[in-house]
Amino acid sequence: MDETRQRDREGTRRRILDAARRLFTELGYDQVTMRLIAAEADANIALINRYFGSKRELFAEVLAVQGRFPGVLEVPSEDLPRRLAEYVADRLRSDQGSLIMSALVRSSGCAETHEIIRDRVRSAILEPLAARLPGGDAAFRATVATAMITGVSMLSQLYGKGELEAPDREAVVGRLTAVFQACLAP
């Protein structure tokens, strides 16, 4: 052994969790290996399963802790279309995003994570969004808006930030606001 190491159970656990969050967000479930997480966390690979059980359970815990939809929905319902449009427009340019969307986009092809992601999307986006929509068919309208958010995340990940055609931010926000109004209107 090269050097001794501090014994720090909680610290190591957190380093692993942080490393997993970064890697899963950036690369998706399949592309992230246990050895990669261990290296990024500067921890031994066996500790991952000791603390989290399995790769799948680690992924679930990462999503449970960090997979909330960032404070986008906490606005009056009449401001929702514009708020969502701003969020989506910024994500169309910044190339970085919430873990939940990255997980959805990057890990959707993986059967192992399907159920985890599904539950998380429902509890973090679909249901909170539907809950603040007045009028009938709230669940359906929330679904349509979620599809829009998802689709933009998908394309902005497939192409880089610079590669998608987009006019200035105000024009983008304006159009997306109209789209979300069409999605959400009672």
Partner DNA sequence: TTGACCAGTAAACAAGCGTCTACTAACTTC
Partner DNA sequence: GAAGTTAGTAGACGCTTGTTTACTGGTCAA
User: Would you mind telling me the total number of residues written for the chain in this entry?
Assistant: 186
Tokens 């998908």, located at residue: 154
Measure the CA–CA gap between 109 and 124, rounded to whole angstroms: 20
Alpha carbon distance 37, 60 (integer Å):
15
CB of 6 to a copy of itself, least distance (A): 35
The minimum distance between CB 166 and a copy of itself, in angstroms, equals 5
Residue 2, contacted partner among a copy of itself, DNA, none, CB below 5-8 A by kind: DNA
**Binding-site member from 37, 100, 146, 173 for a copy of itself (CB under 8 A):** 146
Which residues from 51-90 bind DNA, rule CB under 7 A?
A: 54-56
Q: Min. distance of Cβ 46 from DNA in angstroms?
A: 3
Whether 85 and 179 have beta carbons less than 8 Å apart is answered as yes
- Would you give the DSSP letter of residue 133? -
Q: How far is the CB of 128 from a copy of itself (least distance, A)?
A: 15
Binding mask 3-32 for DNA (x = CB under 7 A): -xxxxxx-xx-------------------x
Specify the 3-state DSSP secondary structure of 166: coil
Distance CA 20, CA 60 (A): 11
> Is residue 150 within a helix (H) or strand (E), and if so which, with residue range?
helix 138-158
Residues 113, 152: contact at Cβ < 8 Å? no
Quick one: which of 19, 20, 23, 43 contacts DNA (CB under 7 A)? 43
Question: Using CB under 8 A, which residues numbered 62 to 121 contact a copy of itself?
Answer: 104-111, 114, 117-118, 121
Rounded to 5 degrees, what are φ and ψ at 17?
A: -65, -40
Q: Looking at 41-49, 51-59, 68-76, 178-186, which segment touches a copy of itself (CB under 8 A)?
A: 178-186
Measured from the CB atom, the residue of 46 and 185 that comes closer to a copy of itself is: 185
Q: Which residues bind DNA (CB under 7 A)?
A: 1-2, 4-9, 11-12, 32-36, 43-50, 54-56
